[in-house]
Amino acid sequence: MAAIGVHLGCTSACVAVYKDGRAGVVANDAGDRVTPAVVAYSANEEIVGLAAKQNRIRNISNTVMKVKQILGRSQKFGPWTWLLSNYP
């Protein structure tokens, strides 16, 4: 029997597989076992993970990050007000 576990953290995500009595964390295309939870959009593509995180300064208006921190919060000032005011 095999099982898959997904961790969706505030700043990162990872996937683990349990099979044949052994567990292992799956590496992403860059070989890292943890992927930054960042998505960026451009005119013709979606960029995820480390590439999106490294490019966020040049493409801040089209970059989504820290989504878990705003889920369930009051939206009286708009969905991005809290996020942008707390950007590091």
Residue pLDDT, tens place only, 20-74: 999 999 998 889 999 998 889 888 998 888 988 888 888 888 888 877 776 666 6
Looking at residue 60, its pLDDT comes to: 85
Please report whether residue 76 resides in a domain.
Answer: no
Is the pTM of the predicted complex or chain greater than 0.95? no
Separation in Å, CA 19 to CA 24, 33, 34, 55: 9, 17, 20, 36
Residue 78 counted as domain residue: no
Which of 5-14, 17-26, 69-78 has the highest mean predicted lDDT (pLDDT)?
17-26
Q: Has residue 17 been placed in a domain?
A: yes
State whether residue 53 is helix, strand or coil: helix
Full residue range of the structural domain in which residue 15 is found: 3-70
80 belongs to a structural domain: no
- Compare 72 and 88 and report the one with higher pLDDT: 72
Q: How many domains does the chain have?
A: 1
What pLDDT band is residue 19 in, cutting at 50, 70 and 90?
A: very high
